[in-house]
Structure 1
Protein backbone atom coordinates (compact mmCIF):
# COMPACT_ATOMS: atom_id res chain seq x y z
CA UNK A 1 0.00 0.00 0.00
CA UNK A 2 1.44 3.37 -1.04
CA UNK A 3 1.43 6.41 1.21
CA UNK A 4 2.07 9.53 -0.93
CA UNK A 5 1.73 11.86 2.05
CA UNK A 6 4.45 9.99 3.95
CA UNK A 7 6.74 10.04 0.92
CA UNK A 8 6.22 13.79 0.49
CA UNK A 9 6.97 14.45 4.16
CA UNK A 10 10.16 12.37 4.00
CA UNK A 11 11.27 14.23 0.87
CA UNK A 12 10.69 17.63 2.48
CA UNK A 13 12.56 16.66 5.65
CA UNK A 14 15.51 15.36 3.61
CA UNK A 15 15.59 18.54 1.52
CA UNK A 16 15.56 20.71 4.66
CA UNK A 17 18.39 18.72 6.21
CA UNK A 18 20.50 18.94 3.06
CA UNK A 19 19.92 22.68 2.80
CA UNK A 20 21.36 23.17 6.28
CA UNK A 21 24.54 21.15 5.60
CA UNK A 22 27.81 23.01 5.55
CA UNK A 23 26.61 26.38 6.79
CA UNK A 24 28.42 27.97 9.72
CA UNK A 25 26.26 28.15 12.81
CA UNK A 26 25.31 31.47 14.32
CA UNK A 27 26.47 33.42 11.27
CA UNK A 28 30.07 33.29 12.40
CA UNK A 29 32.87 33.70 9.87
CA UNK A 30 35.12 30.74 9.21
CA UNK A 31 38.84 30.59 8.53
CA UNK A 32 40.25 33.85 7.17
CA UNK A 33 36.82 35.10 6.15
CA UNK A 34 35.81 38.20 8.04
CA UNK A 35 32.38 38.65 9.55
CA UNK A 36 30.16 41.01 7.60
CA UNK A 37 27.61 43.46 8.88
CA UNK A 38 25.66 43.09 5.62
CA UNK A 39 22.38 41.17 5.78
CA UNK A 40 22.50 37.54 4.77
CA UNK A 41 21.64 36.86 1.16
CA UNK A 42 19.26 34.23 -0.08
CA UNK A 43 20.82 30.84 -0.75
CA UNK A 44 22.10 30.30 -4.28
CA UNK A 45 19.92 28.40 -6.71
CA UNK A 46 20.71 24.74 -7.07
CA UNK A 47 23.65 24.34 -9.44
CA UNK A 48 22.85 23.07 -12.91
CA UNK A 49 24.59 19.78 -13.58
CA UNK A 50 26.46 19.87 -16.87
CA UNK A 51 26.07 17.01 -19.32
CA UNK A 52 29.07 14.85 -20.17
CA UNK A 53 29.15 16.52 -23.59
CA UNK A 54 29.24 20.00 -22.01
CA UNK A 55 32.03 18.92 -19.67
CA UNK A 56 33.99 17.49 -22.61
CA UNK A 57 33.57 20.80 -24.47
CA UNK A 58 34.88 22.77 -21.50
CA UNK A 59 37.91 20.49 -21.09
CA UNK A 60 38.59 20.63 -24.85
CA UNK A 61 38.64 24.45 -24.61
CA UNK A 62 41.69 24.29 -22.33
CA UNK A 63 45.18 24.56 -23.86
CA UNK A 64 47.34 21.44 -24.15
CA UNK A 65 48.11 19.47 -22.03
CA UNK A 66 45.18 20.49 -19.80
CA UNK A 67 42.68 19.49 -22.49
CA UNK A 68 43.65 15.86 -21.82
CA UNK A 69 42.63 15.97 -18.15
CA UNK A 70 40.72 13.15 -16.48
CA UNK A 71 37.78 14.79 -14.71
CA UNK A 72 37.11 11.78 -12.44
CA UNK A 73 40.68 11.70 -11.16
CA UNK A 74 40.67 15.49 -10.82
CA UNK A 75 37.61 15.24 -8.61
CA UNK A 76 39.40 12.70 -6.38
CA UNK A 77 42.53 14.84 -6.12
CA UNK A 78 40.45 17.99 -5.48
CA UNK A 79 38.68 16.33 -2.54
CA UNK A 80 41.35 17.62 -0.15
CA UNK A 81 40.77 21.17 -1.46
CA UNK A 82 37.07 21.07 -0.56
CA UNK A 83 37.87 21.58 3.11
CA UNK A 84 38.85 25.17 2.22
CA UNK A 85 37.19 25.98 -1.14
CA UNK A 86 33.71 25.90 -2.62
CA UNK A 87 33.21 25.65 -6.38
CA UNK A 88 29.53 26.47 -6.89
CA UNK A 89 28.18 29.73 -8.22
CA UNK A 90 27.20 31.90 -5.28
CA UNK A 91 28.95 29.57 -2.85
CA UNK A 92 30.51 30.89 0.33
CA UNK A 93 34.11 31.87 0.81
CA UNK A 94 35.64 29.58 3.39
CA UNK A 95 39.24 29.46 4.59
CA UNK A 96 39.98 29.95 0.88
CA UNK A 97 37.94 31.87 -1.67
CA UNK A 98 35.07 30.41 -3.67
CA UNK A 99 36.50 29.18 -6.98
CA UNK A 100 33.39 29.61 -9.17
CA UNK A 101 34.48 31.61 -12.22
CA UNK A 102 38.18 31.35 -11.38
CA UNK A 103 39.23 30.94 -15.03
CA UNK A 104 39.75 34.45 -16.40
CA UNK A 105 39.45 36.09 -12.97
CA UNK A 106 42.12 38.46 -11.67
CA UNK A 107 44.09 37.23 -8.68
CA UNK A 108 42.89 38.45 -5.28
CA UNK A 109 39.54 39.61 -6.68
CA UNK A 110 36.90 37.32 -5.16
CA UNK A 111 34.45 39.64 -3.40
CA UNK A 112 34.24 39.25 0.36
CA UNK A 113 37.50 37.34 0.78
CA UNK A 114 40.49 38.77 2.67
CA UNK A 115 43.70 38.03 0.75
CA UNK A 116 47.31 38.11 1.92
CA UNK A 117 49.45 41.08 0.86
CA UNK A 118 51.49 38.76 -1.39
CA UNK A 119 48.37 37.59 -3.22
CA UNK A 120 47.16 41.17 -3.59
CA UNK A 121 50.46 42.04 -5.29
CA UNK A 122 50.48 38.99 -7.60
CA UNK A 123 48.64 40.73 -10.43
CA UNK A 124 47.82 37.78 -12.69
CA UNK A 125 44.73 36.44 -14.42
CA UNK A 126 43.95 32.84 -13.52
CA UNK A 127 44.24 30.46 -16.46
CA UNK A 128 45.27 26.81 -16.70
CA UNK A 129 49.07 27.41 -16.65
CA UNK A 130 48.80 29.87 -13.71
CA UNK A 131 46.53 27.53 -11.75
CA UNK A 132 48.99 24.69 -12.47
CA UNK A 133 51.89 26.73 -11.10
CA UNK A 134 49.80 27.72 -8.06
CA UNK A 135 48.61 24.25 -7.11
CA UNK A 136 52.09 22.79 -7.61
CA UNK A 137 53.55 24.97 -4.85
CA UNK A 138 51.56 27.96 -3.57
CA UNK A 139 54.32 29.16 -1.23
CA UNK A 140 56.83 29.34 -4.09
CA UNK A 141 54.45 31.42 -6.20
CA UNK A 142 53.33 33.89 -3.51
CA UNK A 143 55.59 34.84 -0.66
CA UNK A 144 53.54 35.12 2.52
CA UNK A 145 50.45 33.34 1.19
CA UNK A 146 47.92 32.30 3.82
CA UNK A 147 47.38 29.05 1.92
CA UNK A 148 49.03 26.30 3.97
CA UNK A 149 48.56 23.59 1.33
CA UNK A 150 51.91 22.11 0.24
CA UNK A 151 50.84 21.49 -3.33
CA UNK A 152 50.09 18.73 -5.82
CA UNK A 153 53.42 17.34 -6.98
CA UNK A 154 52.34 14.95 -9.79
CA UNK A 155 51.94 16.84 -13.11
CA UNK A 156 49.16 14.48 -14.30
CA UNK A 157 47.18 15.08 -11.09
CA UNK A 158 47.46 18.86 -11.60
CA UNK A 159 46.26 18.50 -15.21
CA UNK A 160 43.31 16.46 -13.96
CA UNK A 161 42.44 18.95 -11.19
CA UNK A 162 42.46 21.79 -13.72
CA UNK A 163 40.12 19.83 -16.04
CA UNK A 164 37.83 19.13 -13.07
CA UNK A 165 37.90 22.78 -11.96
CA UNK A 166 37.04 23.93 -15.47
CA UNK A 167 33.92 21.76 -15.45
CA UNK A 168 32.87 22.68 -11.90
CA UNK A 169 33.54 26.42 -11.92
CA UNK A 170 32.30 27.39 -15.38
CA UNK A 171 28.88 28.00 -16.88
CA UNK A 172 27.62 25.58 -19.51
CA UNK A 173 29.23 26.22 -22.90
CA UNK A 174 26.98 27.82 -25.50
Structure 2
Protein backbone atom coordinates (compact mmCIF):
# COMPACT_ATOMS: atom_id res chain seq x y z
CA UNK A 1 0.00 0.00 0.00
CA UNK A 2 2.89 2.32 0.89
CA UNK A 3 4.55 1.56 -2.44
CA UNK A 4 1.34 2.40 -4.26
CA UNK A 5 1.06 5.78 -2.51
CA UNK A 6 4.68 6.51 -3.32
CA UNK A 7 4.05 5.64 -6.95
CA UNK A 8 1.03 7.91 -7.12
CA UNK A 9 2.92 10.74 -5.45
CA UNK A 10 5.78 10.25 -7.88
CA UNK A 11 3.46 10.48 -10.89
CA UNK A 12 1.78 13.57 -9.46
CA UNK A 13 5.17 15.22 -8.96
CA UNK A 14 6.24 14.23 -12.46
CA UNK A 15 3.03 15.66 -13.95
CA UNK A 16 3.62 18.93 -12.08
CA UNK A 17 7.16 19.17 -13.44
CA UNK A 18 5.92 18.52 -16.98
CA UNK A 19 3.18 21.16 -16.63
CA UNK A 20 5.66 23.72 -15.31
CA UNK A 21 8.06 23.02 -18.14
CA UNK A 22 5.28 23.30 -20.72
CA UNK A 23 4.25 26.66 -19.27
CA UNK A 24 7.79 28.02 -19.50
CA UNK A 25 8.25 26.79 -23.06
CA UNK A 26 4.89 28.16 -24.16
CA UNK A 27 5.55 31.53 -22.54
CA UNK A 28 8.90 31.80 -24.29
CA UNK A 29 7.48 30.76 -27.65
CA UNK A 30 4.55 33.19 -27.54
CA UNK A 31 6.14 35.98 -25.55
CA UNK A 32 4.55 39.25 -26.68
CA UNK A 33 6.93 42.17 -27.03
CA UNK A 34 6.30 45.63 -28.36
CA UNK A 35 7.95 45.75 -31.82
CA UNK A 36 10.92 48.05 -32.25
CA UNK A 37 9.00 49.89 -34.97
CA UNK A 38 5.22 50.18 -34.96
CA UNK A 39 3.70 48.72 -38.11
CA UNK A 40 1.01 51.40 -38.31
CA UNK A 41 -0.02 54.28 -36.08
CA UNK A 42 -2.80 53.80 -33.54
CA UNK A 43 -4.42 56.93 -32.17
CA UNK A 44 -3.68 57.27 -28.49
CA UNK A 45 -0.64 54.92 -28.55
CA UNK A 46 2.68 56.70 -28.49
CA UNK A 47 5.96 55.32 -29.74
CA UNK A 48 8.58 54.52 -27.10
CA UNK A 49 10.84 57.37 -26.20
CA UNK A 50 7.98 59.87 -25.84
CA UNK A 51 5.75 61.71 -28.25
CA UNK A 52 7.10 63.71 -31.16
CA UNK A 53 7.93 67.28 -30.23
CA UNK A 54 4.74 69.29 -30.53
CA UNK A 55 4.55 71.76 -33.37
CA UNK A 56 2.63 75.03 -33.09
CA UNK A 57 -0.95 75.02 -34.30
CA UNK A 58 0.03 77.38 -37.14
CA UNK A 59 2.13 74.58 -38.62
CA UNK A 60 -0.94 72.39 -39.10
CA UNK A 61 -3.21 75.26 -40.10
CA UNK A 62 -0.90 75.98 -43.04
CA UNK A 63 -2.10 72.75 -44.67
CA UNK A 64 -5.56 72.57 -43.07
CA UNK A 65 -8.58 71.87 -45.23
CA UNK A 66 -12.14 72.85 -44.30
CA UNK A 67 -13.61 70.03 -46.41
CA UNK A 68 -11.67 67.47 -44.39
CA UNK A 69 -12.73 69.33 -41.26
CA UNK A 70 -16.37 68.95 -42.18
CA UNK A 71 -15.81 65.21 -42.29
CA UNK A 72 -14.11 65.31 -38.87
CA UNK A 73 -17.11 67.25 -37.55
CA UNK A 74 -19.24 64.12 -38.04
CA UNK A 75 -17.74 62.93 -34.74
CA UNK A 76 -19.29 65.97 -33.08
CA UNK A 77 -22.64 65.98 -34.88
CA UNK A 78 -24.36 63.75 -32.31
CA UNK A 79 -24.15 66.57 -29.74
CA UNK A 80 -23.59 69.75 -31.78
CA UNK A 81 -24.67 71.47 -34.94
CA UNK A 82 -22.86 74.27 -36.74
CA UNK A 83 -25.67 75.55 -38.96
CA UNK A 84 -26.60 79.25 -38.89
CA UNK A 85 -29.28 79.76 -36.26
CA UNK A 86 -28.95 76.16 -35.12
CA UNK A 87 -30.41 75.27 -31.74
CA UNK A 88 -28.51 73.98 -28.75
CA UNK A 89 -28.64 70.23 -28.33
CA UNK A 90 -26.81 68.02 -25.87
CA UNK A 91 -23.95 70.45 -26.51
CA UNK A 92 -24.11 74.11 -27.52
CA UNK A 93 -24.62 75.18 -31.13
CA UNK A 94 -21.24 75.97 -32.68
CA UNK A 95 -22.08 78.50 -35.39
CA UNK A 96 -20.07 81.63 -34.71
CA UNK A 97 -17.89 80.00 -32.06
CA UNK A 98 -14.43 80.90 -33.39
CA UNK A 99 -13.36 84.29 -32.10
CA UNK A 100 -16.22 84.58 -29.62
CA UNK A 101 -16.22 84.22 -25.84
CA UNK A 102 -15.58 80.83 -24.31
CA UNK A 103 -18.81 79.45 -22.81
CA UNK A 104 -20.61 82.38 -24.38
CA UNK A 105 -23.30 80.84 -26.58
CA UNK A 106 -26.64 82.05 -25.25
CA UNK A 107 -29.09 79.63 -23.70
CA UNK A 108 -26.68 76.81 -22.90
CA UNK A 109 -25.88 75.75 -19.33
CA UNK A 110 -22.09 75.56 -19.38
CA UNK A 111 -20.12 74.01 -16.55
CA UNK A 112 -18.45 76.31 -14.06
CA UNK A 113 -15.14 74.77 -15.13
CA UNK A 114 -15.46 76.03 -18.70
CA UNK A 115 -16.97 79.36 -17.69
CA UNK A 116 -13.97 79.90 -15.44
CA UNK A 117 -11.47 79.65 -18.31
CA UNK A 118 -12.28 83.11 -19.67
CA UNK A 119 -11.10 84.68 -22.91
CA UNK A 120 -12.17 83.89 -26.44
CA UNK A 121 -11.90 80.90 -28.71
CA UNK A 122 -8.68 81.62 -30.58
CA UNK A 123 -6.70 79.00 -32.48
CA UNK A 124 -4.50 77.93 -29.57
CA UNK A 125 -7.34 77.61 -27.06
CA UNK A 126 -9.58 75.74 -29.46
CA UNK A 127 -6.72 73.41 -30.36
CA UNK A 128 -6.08 72.65 -26.67
CA UNK A 129 -9.82 72.12 -26.06
CA UNK A 130 -10.20 69.75 -28.98
CA UNK A 131 -7.08 67.84 -27.95
CA UNK A 132 -8.44 67.15 -24.44
CA UNK A 133 -11.48 68.94 -23.00
CA UNK A 134 -10.80 67.47 -19.55
CA UNK A 135 -7.25 68.81 -19.49
CA UNK A 136 -8.27 72.20 -20.86
CA UNK A 137 -11.07 72.67 -18.32
CA UNK A 138 -10.89 70.09 -15.51
CA UNK A 139 -14.42 69.39 -14.33
CA UNK A 140 -16.07 70.12 -17.68
CA UNK A 141 -19.29 68.30 -18.57
CA UNK A 142 -17.82 67.52 -21.99
CA UNK A 143 -17.36 63.75 -22.13
CA UNK A 144 -15.57 63.58 -25.49
CA UNK A 145 -12.01 62.30 -24.99
CA UNK A 146 -10.54 64.59 -27.64
CA UNK A 147 -8.85 64.41 -31.04
CA UNK A 148 -5.33 63.07 -30.82
CA UNK A 149 -4.37 63.94 -34.40
CA UNK A 150 -3.26 67.60 -34.61
CA UNK A 151 -4.03 67.77 -38.33
CA UNK A 152 -7.60 66.62 -37.67
CA UNK A 153 -7.92 69.39 -35.11
CA UNK A 154 -6.59 71.98 -37.56
CA UNK A 155 -8.97 70.79 -40.27
CA UNK A 156 -11.91 70.92 -37.87
CA UNK A 157 -10.99 74.43 -36.70
CA UNK A 158 -10.72 75.59 -40.29
CA UNK A 159 -14.22 74.24 -40.90
CA UNK A 160 -15.59 75.90 -37.75
CA UNK A 161 -13.95 79.16 -38.77
CA UNK A 162 -16.09 79.10 -41.90
CA UNK A 163 -19.25 78.56 -39.86
CA UNK A 164 -19.48 82.17 -38.74
CA UNK A 165 -20.34 85.54 -40.15
CA UNK A 166 -16.93 86.88 -39.08
CA UNK A 167 -14.08 84.36 -39.59
CA UNK A 168 -10.93 85.12 -37.66
CA UNK A 169 -7.53 85.52 -39.31
CA UNK A 170 -5.47 82.37 -39.81
CA UNK A 171 -1.97 82.75 -38.33
CA UNK A 172 0.94 82.62 -40.79
CA UNK A 173 3.12 79.51 -40.94
CA UNK A 174 5.90 79.32 -38.33
CA UNK A 175 9.14 81.13 -39.14
CA UNK A 176 11.02 77.88 -39.62
CA UNK A 177 8.57 76.82 -42.32
CA UNK A 178 8.91 80.18 -44.07
CA UNK A 179 12.72 79.88 -43.90
CA UNK A 180 12.57 76.40 -45.38
CA UNK A 181 10.47 77.70 -48.28
CA UNK A 182 12.91 80.58 -48.81
CA UNK A 183 15.89 78.21 -48.82
CA UNK A 184 14.15 75.99 -51.36
CA UNK A 185 13.53 79.01 -53.61
CA UNK A 186 17.17 80.10 -53.34
CA UNK A 187 18.28 76.58 -54.22
CA UNK A 188 16.08 76.54 -57.31
CA UNK A 189 17.42 79.93 -58.41
CA UNK A 190 20.98 78.68 -57.97
CA UNK A 191 20.29 75.65 -60.14
CA UNK A 192 18.85 77.85 -62.84
CA UNK A 193 21.90 80.13 -62.68
CA UNK A 194 24.20 77.13 -63.18
CA UNK A 195 22.42 76.37 -66.46
CA UNK A 196 23.05 79.86 -67.92
CA UNK A 197 26.04 80.05 -70.28
CA UNK A 198 28.62 82.58 -69.12
CA UNK A 199 30.73 84.31 -71.83
CA UNK A 200 34.41 84.90 -71.32
CA UNK A 201 35.89 88.38 -71.72
CA UNK A 202 37.31 87.44 -75.12
CA UNK A 203 34.00 86.10 -76.33
CA UNK A 204 32.26 89.26 -75.16
CA UNK A 205 34.66 91.45 -77.13
CA UNK A 206 34.28 89.43 -80.35
CA UNK A 207 30.53 89.08 -79.87
CA UNK A 208 30.78 85.28 -79.88
CA UNK A 209 27.72 83.53 -78.59
CA UNK A 210 26.71 79.98 -77.95
CA UNK A 211 26.83 79.31 -81.71
CA UNK A 212 30.62 79.82 -81.69
CA UNK A 213 30.71 82.53 -84.38
CA UNK A 214 30.41 86.31 -84.49
CA UNK A 215 27.04 87.80 -83.98
CA UNK A 216 25.38 88.77 -87.26
CA UNK A 217 22.89 91.65 -87.13
CA UNK A 218 19.41 90.95 -88.36
CA UNK A 219 18.56 92.16 -91.83
CA UNK A 220 16.26 95.10 -91.95
Change (3 A) 1:172 1:107: closer
Contact 1:138 1:145 in 2 (8 A): yes
1:18-29 alignment to 2 at 5 Å? none
Q: 1:70 aligns with which of 65, 79, 85?
A: 65
Report SS of the residue matched to 1:98.
coil
Segments of 5+ residues of structure 1 without an aligned counterpart are 1-61
Q: Which of residues 100, 108, 118 in structure 2 aligns to 1:105? A: 100
1:141 paired residue among 136, 140, 148: 136
Name the SS of the counterpart of 1:68 in structure 2. Answer: coil
Residue 67 of structure 1 contacts residue 163 of structure 1 at CA under 8 Å; is this kept in 2? no
1:116 matched to 2:106? The reply is no
In structure 2, what is the Cα distance between the partners aligned to 1:136 and 1:172?
Answer: 24
TM (norm. structure 1) is 0.59
RMSD: 1.8
Counterpart-to-counterpart distance in 2, 1:172 and 1:143:
30
CA-to-aligned-CA distance 1:41-93 (integer Å, 9 cap, x gap): xxxxxxxxxxxxxxxxxxxxx95542421222211111010111111121100
Aligned to 1:163: 158
Shift of 1:147: 0.5
Counterpart residue number, 1:86: 81
Measure, in 1, the Cα distance between the counterparts of 2:89 and 2:81.
Answer: 7
Contact 2:96–2:166, Cα closer than 8 Å, also in 1: no
Question: Using a 3 Å threshold, how does the CA distance of structure 1 residues 172 and 133 change in structure 2: closer, same or farther?
Answer: closer
Question: Which structure would you say has the larger RCO, counting Cα contacts within 8 Å and 6 or more residues apart?
Answer: 1
Report the count of equivalent residues.
111
Moved over 4 A (4+): none
Aligned-partner Cα distance in 2 for 1:172–1:150: 29
